[in-house]
Structure 1
Amino acid sequence: MRVMGLDVGSKTVGVAISDELGWTAQGIETIKIDEDQGVFRMDRIKELADEYQVDTVVVGMPKNMNNTIGPRGEASKAYGELIQQELSLPIKYWDERLSTMAAERVLLEADVSRKKRKKVIDKMAAMMILQGYLDSQK
């Protein structure tokens, strides 16, 4: 069974999936959502969970630097709870502080153009969140 990692934003959700042994994370896709309109694309999350036989979902928890949970953290928690209701899968929350900045830095060092970075940043952040979780399980 595999683990799915999610980087939840207000407009997109980056998705990563582990290999079957739970050693490595691969970025899969970025799903467009609209938090303001209540469009959360649970249908696509379920399709991916079924396709990859996911048994656990890791949701990035964007904490403030002082370890408190702000509005984005509350939104990520609500998204995780929605997934738990819809898919009946266990949800784990992973501290994702600076994951998007780290993903941006990696892409900049790889000399990826701004246009291409924008397309892959969310799934790369999801990959970093998931990899951090997988590494902690060893």
Structure 2
Amino acid sequence: MRIMGLDYGSVTVGVAISDSLKLTAQGIEVIRRKSETKLRQTLARIEELIKEYEVEEIVLGYPKNMNNTIGERAEKSEEFAEHLRRRTGLPVVLWDERLTTVAAHQVLNAGEVSLKKKMEVVDKLAAVFILQGYLDYLSNKKKLNLTDSL
């Protein structure tokens, strides 16, 4: 079983999937829609990917403001999380994604990726950063639990 990471944007959703050991995140695709309110096809595609990759949990980027307050984008992510829970029946973890898109842009800029290509992959890379952060958290949590039992 795997974990899915999502970077939810106004008209795109970046998708990443963990490996079966839940150690690494790989970018899968960017789902695009015509407008922010057109979610049916987006949710259907996510469901297809859940089945294809045998996903057991979803990690959704939670774009808090830098001062830790909840803004409009975070509220929209909360709404999307609820859609995902109802539609898939899977647990959805909201994961602090502050600066993941900035980090994705920095990586792509360092690699001298063209603007066109950057726009195609930045959301997928942000999803990778979101999911990898969560996977690292799980790994560190396991290590701490093992240390506590020694």
> Normalized against structure 1, the TM-score is what?
0.97
Question: How far apart in 1 are the matches of 2:101 and 2:17?
Answer: 17
- Residue 27 to residue 38, structure 1, CA distance change in 2 (3 Å): closer
State the Cα distance separating 1:36 from its structure 2 match.
Answer: 3.5
Q: Deviations over 1:64-91 (max 9, x none)?
A: 0110110000111111110100000001
SS in 1 for 2:26: strand
- Report the structure, 1 or 2, having the larger helix content: 2
Question: How far apart in 2 are the matches of 1:116 and 1:32?
Answer: 15
1:98 lines up with 2:99 in the alignment: yes
Question: How far apart in 2 are the matches of 1:123 and 1:13?
Answer: 8
Unaligned runs of 5+ in 1: none
Q: Counterpart amino acid of 1:97?
A: R
Question: How far apart in 1 are the matches of 2:38 and 2:80?
Answer: 14
Question: How far apart in 2 are the matches of 1:79 and 1:125?
Answer: 17
| Number of equivalences | 138
Question: How far apart in 1 are the matches of 2:36 and 2:52?
Answer: 25
Unaligned runs of 5+ in 2: 140-150
- Identity across the alignment (%): 54
- 2:60 equivalent in structure 1: 59
Q: CA RMSD in A?
A: 1.0
SS in 2 for 1:112: coil
Question: How far apart in 2 are the matches of 1:87 and 1:40?
Answer: 14
- 1:121 equivalent in structure 2: 122
- 2:143 equivalent in structure 1: none
Question: How far apart in 1 are the matches of 2:92 and 2:86?
Answer: 10
State the Cα distance separating 1:35 from its structure 2 match.
Answer: 1.3
Question: How far apart in 1 are the matches of 2:102 and 2:124?
Answer: 13
Q: Deviations over 1:31-62 (max 9, x none)?
A: 01221345561110000000000000000000
Q: Deviations over 1:77-108 (max 9, x none)?
A: 11111010000000101000000000000000
* Structure with larger Rg: 2
Question: How far apart in 2 are the matches of 1:40 and 1:67?
Answer: 32
Question: How far apart in 2 are the matches of 1:88 and 1:101?
Answer: 31
State the Cα distance separating 1:26 from its structure 2 match.
Answer: 0.3
